[in-house]
Amino acid sequence: MNKHTVTFLPDKVKVTVDAGVTLMTAAAEAGVEFEGPCGGRGVCGKCRMRIREGADQDWVLACQTEVNADLVVEIPQQEIYLSRKTALTQQDMDVEIDPGITRRTIQVQPPSIEHQVSDATRLLEALGEPANLKLGVLRALPGVLREARHLVTVVMHEKDVIAVEPGEHEREPLYGLAVDIGTTTVVGTLVNLTTGKNVAAASAGNTQNIFGADVISRIQHAAKGPKELEQLRRRVVQVINRLGEKLAHAAGIRTSSVYQAAVVCNTTMHHLFLGLDPRHLAPAPFTPVVTDLVTVEAGELGLNLCPHAPVHLLPNVAGYVGADTVGVILSTKLYDVDRRILAVDIGTNGEIVLALPGRMLTCSTAAGPAFEGAQIKCGMRAQAGAIEKVRIDEDQVTYEVIGDEPAKGICGSGLMDAISEMHRVGVIEANGRIVPPEKADHLPEFLRKRIHDRGANAYFVIATPEETGGPEVYLSQKDVRELQLAKGAIRAGIEVLLQKAGISSAELDEILLAGAFGSYIDKRSALGIGLLPAVDPGKIRAVGNAAGAGAMLALLSRRIRREAASIARTCEHMELSTVPEFQEAFIKHLNF
């Protein structure tokens, strides 16, 4: 069979593939990041790539384009989106530093005919305390001892010796890696375990996305067999390894000098990362394989850190409330409040926590990827060219675009602004219908001109072709329905938790918005579309990547890891599919 080489720009990653495979398959084999939320079915339009050399086409859908020549292909970059995710993570932690990792330099007795004991015994004698030596440490020990004339530095996790290094390094900093594996994005933060300082942070797309944008598609792929499960596991391990290398490079250290990791993620990502069968998460009763905190060695997972570095996966609460929610609870201290606080983390799923003195209730709803710009015809992530803010004034529609570029699409915050504004001025009725052009007489001319009919699907133009220099950016009736489903589900989840706790929204002292989306949305638009209950906007506070901050805390403190275990056990989880009030609330809150 003929082979062709595809070079992916901008990183110039090359891959050789059989003729006739799709560009998407080639990109997947090359391990490059790109979007493909519909899993290659050709319907989402998000896998666009640009052919620079080798074929007469220009922009193509990677999942629908065969490789029949050597090609040079450019993948649009997600840098702004990723740098926003990273920026939300850049903060130092306020916690007592007790990571459970220690380092000591010791002088080991050289072997002698008078003292005929093993290398391991002499090391333990010099250490002066009982300890377990890992197999990898034993394998390297004879060489390291002799190379360093028996002056070595021992790195320990609790009672385990996880590394023995030649020479004196006792005063050098220890490093750890906090990882937040999202369904869409993976964020890594390199942390100095001695000072607690955040050294560097970076993000990358979760390359499992070629198997679908949401957790259910990933579970379905994993359910095909062990090979497919391993395929998913490897992809996320590769992403973490790439982030680890990037961060270590930025800090001027080797990845093998990272001695501990803490990971937060939703329950599906948790299972896929560990290679656990996720099949029983999909149907009721949504049973996870494990919910407790799991600690595994980095080498066992294929992570290129110190091979015996402990990797702590924070505990899950339930099938759809994972360690990422535990991370949010940890970093916002919801486990110890004297007020009534609601926390909402909106990503591909929406996780909700209601914290009251001595009590925490949780639930999760399928928010759908609408808020991340997927399943919206002109939707895109928050990257250059995305409309992120929209206002409708008395005589004009204004918007702000990310980066110094004409509008190419609209991201989640722009979508919410646009729909809130369209509803406020009467372009959208309370039931979500876009007013048809022939019934729009009550609207001013500048708005009427923007409403069009495309068959049964009315749409409203946000950015005209004159403004974009290309296709118009619009919201269709179907897009509005997608947002209604997502916001209706989240709002209904909030209402169910409030009902179960026996309090009203007026009694809430604060609403915390976690995650990238929560940090960039306009509070008034969130209230305007009814995503959140009507509260004083001053009570709403964005808390950034609170899940990732939870991973950093767990990395730095054994007490926090114990706290995480207790949080997961004590949360009262509501499975919304079993709560009749949820359906009622959902129907009610579909409307604006």
Binding site for ligand FES (CB under 6 A): 36, 38, 40, 42-47, 61, 63
We find the least distance from the C-beta atom of residue 216 to ligand FES, in angstroms, to be 16
We find the least distance from the C-beta atom of residue 25 to ligand FES, in angstroms, to be 11
Classify burial at 128, counting beta carbons within 10 Å of its beta carbon; exposed 0-12, middle 13-18, buried 19 or more: exposed
Using CA atoms, how far residue 311 sits from 67, 297, 431, 554, 555, in Å, is 40, 6, 48, 11, 9
Classify burial at 41, counting beta carbons within 10 Å of its beta carbon; exposed 0-12, middle 13-18, buried 19 or more: exposed
Q: How many Å separate Cα 70 from the centre of its chain?
A: 34
We find the least distance from the C-beta atom of residue 46 to ligand FES, in angstroms, to be 5
We find the least distance from the C-beta atom of residue 36 to ligand FES, in angstroms, to be 3
CB 418 within 8 A of CB 412: no
The CA distance from 583 to 496, in Å, is: 10
CB 341 within 8 A of CB 359: no
Closer by beta carbon to ligand FES, 37 or else 414: 37
For the chain, the 3-state helix, strand and coil shares in percent, each to the nearest 5, are 35, 25, 35
Closer by beta carbon to ligand FES, 40 or else 368: 40
Give a three-class secondary structure readout of 327-350. HHHHHCCCCCCCCCEEEEEECCCE
Closer by beta carbon to ligand FES, 61 or else 501: 61
Q: What secondary structure letter does DSSP report for 234?
A: H
We find the least distance from the C-beta atom of residue 75 to ligand FES, in angstroms, to be 13
We find the least distance from the C-beta atom of residue 263 to ligand FES, in angstroms, to be 27
Strands of 158-252 (E only): list them. 160-166, 175-181, 185-192, 198-205
Closer by beta carbon to ligand FES, 42 or else 110: 42
Cis peptide before 406 (omega within 30 of 0): no
We find the least distance from the C-beta atom of residue 366 to ligand FES, in angstroms, to be 19
CB 211 within 8 A of CB 272: no
Closer by beta carbon to ligand FES, 310 or else 379: 379
Q: How many Å separate Cα 306 from the centre of its chain?
A: 24
CA dihedral in degrees (553, 555, 557, 559; nearest 10)? 90
We find the least distance from the C-beta atom of residue 40 to ligand FES, in angstroms, to be 5
Closer by beta carbon to ligand FES, 27 or else 179: 27
Closer by beta carbon to ligand FES, 374 or else 473: 374
Closer by beta carbon to ligand FES, 28 or else 551: 28
